[in-house]
Structure 1
Amino acid sequence: MTDITFCEKKSRFRYKAAAVIIEEGALAFMTNPNEDYFYPLGGAVQLGETSEEAILREIKEETGQDYEIDRLLFIHENFFQQSSGKLAGLNCHEISFYYLMKSKGQQFPSFSAAETVEWIPLDRMDEYQAYPNFLAKLVSTQPTGIKRVITKDEKHTILSL
């Protein structure tokens, strides 16, 4: 299958699905040896795949775990630039569907050496370079309904749908 990602000149678009997994008061993030920050589990939606199918596939690929979706938590339209790594110099535009996953009651260990799972306590999120940086605040408010978040010029606008 083909990821729904494309580049045009100095711009990159990506349609992705991401997981919000909370176990024992901590939020699951991923990291890898090439990055100095943490990011949510998930990845690109593939052609012919729903965002729900994508997140279940991505969780299994990245962690070896089977999770169930609780509900769609928010949609994030993110405009950003990265100064390092494989996206350096690109104007990035991502649309991400963030799904709250049903808790299993315990944290799981890393599954792969390429990417590792890091459990970041919700009450200590401000001590970590984790993106999106509004995630802990949004999750801790236990929002009802689906939120739409727009991030442009590092400013977040949170709207209700």
Structure 2
Amino acid sequence: MSKDIIFKTEEYVFSYRVAGLLVQNGKVLLQRPVGDTGYAIPGGHVALGETNEETLIREFKEEIDVDIKVDKLRWVGEIFFPWGDKPCHQICLFYDVSLTGDINIPLEGTFFGTEQLEGESFKLEFSWVDIKEIETIELYPIEAKQYLYEGLNEVKHFVYKEK
């Protein structure tokens, strides 16, 4: 079993995550826990001894059973948000990814997958969202909405602090 890079102290949580920007036919694949309103970009926590590329390949295989190719780094995020009752400081690297091999997920609409985090399993809803309509949804981090809508094609660093 892999050991995710999540470090907790009495006062704080630190997390190291990578996310994959999968765009097909003008739509981006987003995820959210079933019952939540806010979306995130699919990915997961890097495990000790694992590269970012290995993490993304593993996460997409575990969560929705697809094979991906990891392309260039797009964004570097320093993200601050509540993790339960503690503040969390997360470093998240966002990469372009593309589907390879057999594609056994729908390429439009919504479907479901599963996430493992800290020994628990969660059902996830995956949705293809038209990039032209990205500003009408709840997506975190907020910068992702702007960068996707603008088609930002350069490496960008941002800091997001949830209020």
TM-score (norm 2): 0.80
Deviates more, 1:57-66 or 1:110-119: 110-119
Tell me which amino acid in the other structure corresponds to 2:126. V
Note if 1:124 corresponds to 2:133: yes
Deviations 1:15-60 (A, max 9, x none): 0110111112111111222533111111100000011110111111
**Any stretches of 5+ residues in structure 1 without a counterpart?**
82-86, 155-161
SS of aligned partner of 1:76: strand
- Residue in 1 aligned with 2:48? 47
Report % sequence identity. 25
**Paired residues of 2:31 and 2:41 also in contact (CA < 8 A):** yes
Amino acid corresponding to residue 90 of structure 1 in structure 2: K
Q: Distance in 2 between matches of 1:34 and 1:11?
A: 26
Equivalent residue for 2:156?
147
Q: Partners in 1 of 2:155 and 2:76 — Cα distance? A: 8
Number of residue pairs aligned between Structure 1 and Structure 2: 149
Structure with the bigger percentage of strand: 2
**How many Å apart are 1:67 and its aligned residue?**
1.3
Match for 1:94 among 90, 105, 114? 90
Q: Residue 102 of structure 1: CA displacement?
A: 2.9
Q: Distance in 1 between matches of 2:151 and 2:136?
A: 21
Mark the CA change 1:144 to 1:33 in structure 2 (over 3 Å): closer, same or farther. closer
Determine if contact 2:7/2:13 at 8 Å carries over to the other structure. yes
User: Residue 132 of structure 2 contacts residue 149 of structure 2 at CA under 8 Å; is this kept in 1?
Assistant: no
The farther-off stretch of 103-112 and 35-44 is 103-112
Does the CA contact (< 8 Å) of 2:141 and 2:160 recur in 1?
Answer: no
Counterpart among 117, 129, 142 of residue 133 in structure 1: 142
Does 2:96 correspond to 1:71? no
1:103 CA drift (Å): 6.0
Q: Find runs of 4+ consecutive structure 1 residues off by over 2 angstroms.
A: 33-36, 102-106, 108-113, 139-145
In the aligned structure 1, how far is the partner of 2:68 from the partner of 2:162? 34
Residues 1:57 and 1:36: Cα distance change in structure 2 (over 3 Å): same
Distance in 1 between residues matched to 2:87 and 2:112, nearest whole Å:
32
Structure 2, unpaired ranges of 5+: 115-122
